[in-house]
Amino acid sequence: MIMLKLKNLFKKSEHNVDFDNLPQHIGIIMDGNGRWAKKRGLPRTGGHAVGAKTFEKIVEDAGNIGIKIVTVYAFSTENWNRPKEEVDTLMSLLEDYLDNGLERLAGRDVKIHFIGDRSAFSDEFQKKICHMEKATETNSGLLLNVALNYGGRAEILNAVKEICHKVQNGEFSCSDIDEKTISDHLYTAGQPDPDLIIRPSGEYRLSNFLMWQSAYSELWFSNLLWPDFSKENLLEAISDYQKRNRRFGGV
Ligand code: IPE
Ligand code: IPE
Ligand code: MG
């Protein structure tokens, strides 16, 4: 009886996902923490604490499902515009991840890479970022990009500046610049573009996430709020993605 129940649960949770045809790279805009807290009469910061737990859980689920790359939007270049108390809470949650995330990830084959402008953070914070990257650099299961002080436009601007310097130094000429040159100078250099971008919270926008890389990404929106997002929802998004017809401008 128990076995039958478990079997049914497993079947139900598969959402008809074809595990041989998974999206290689999934981007996730972890949105809706504030509204989740508000609905419960809590301060917005309470929503961020639960959202941080959801983040770690979903990373684990994505790895178990067999996803190769996940990019999570944790803090945008525009999120500095929030009240200081909220920014401070977000930073201390991030610091907790930098301090204790490795222990919680122990035994999981996850390689962590931070994308975004880290120069805005203190030396100590930057050291912690580097430590986490170094400690996981030989892992080859799931590549997790954590977008921190990340903005898609800032990323492209940064790439343009780096390319300009290289042209000035004679490393290549303007006529050599093509789309791959730009891609190679983004924080995600060498990685495939996201196949699927997931955004909960009921907003239908990218909010400056992976502006270059998302040119042909499939988008999946949901009214769920990030703290409520579960493995079931991830499987649902993947299953929907697998029904799409990606044409890339062809027929
Ligand atoms: C996403 O949740 C977390 C960050 C932007 C860091 P929000 O804080 O944006 O939650 P809502 O959109 O206000 O509900
Ligand atoms: C996008 O969410 C940024 C992150 C989830 C980190 P926002 O809540 O900042 O986006 P807007 O303001 O609704 O566009
Ligand atoms: Mg939001």
Verify whether residue 31 is a known catalytic residue: yes
- What is the pLDDT at residue 13? 56
Ligand nearest to the CA of 37: 1
Confidence of residue 75 (pLDDT cuts 50, 70, 90): very high
* Strands ordered across the beta sheet of 218-221: 110-115, 142-150, 69-76, 25-29, 196-199, 218-221
Q: 55: Cβ below 6 Å to ligand 1?
A: no
The Å distance, Cα 40 to ligand 3 centre, comes to 16
- What is the pLDDT at residue 15? 81
Kindly name the residue from 8, 16, 21, 31 that is annotated as catalytic: 31
Q: What are 68's two structure tokens?
A: 């190769």
Beta bridge partners of 71: 27, 145
Taking the C-alpha atoms of residue 240 and residue 167, their distance in angstroms, rounded to an integer, is 44
**Mean residue pLDDT across the chain:** 95
The Å distance, Cα 137 to ligand 3 centre, comes to 31
Tens of pLDDT, residues 145-196: 999 999 999 999 999 999 999 999 999 999 999 999 999 999 999 999 999 9
Tens of pLDDT, residues 11-30: 455 689 999 999 999 999 99
The Å distance, Cα 233 to ligand 1 centre, comes to 19
Query: Is the pLDDT reported for residue 10 higher than 50?
Result: no
Which amino acid makes up residue 243? K
From 31, 73, 94, mutation site for ligand 2 pocket: most ligand atoms within 8 A of C-beta: 31
Verify whether residue 178 is a known catalytic residue: no
- What is the pLDDT at residue 7? 44
Kindly name the residue from 79, 139, 228, 240 that is annotated as catalytic: 79
Q: 31: Cβ below 6 Å to ligand 2?
A: yes
What's the helix, strand, coil split of the chain in %, to 5? 50, 15, 35
Ligand nearest to the CA of 52: 1
- What is the pLDDT at residue 107? 87
Q: 71: Cβ below 6 Å to ligand 1?
A: no
Query: Is the pLDDT reported for residue 8 higher than 50?
Result: no
Q: 75: Cβ below 6 Å to ligand 1?
A: yes
Q: Which has more pLDDT, 5 or 159?
A: 159
Tens of pLDDT, residues 94-105: 999 999 999 999
- Contact indicator for 115, 154 with CB cutoff of 8 Å: no
Mean pLDDT, rounded, for 211-224: 98
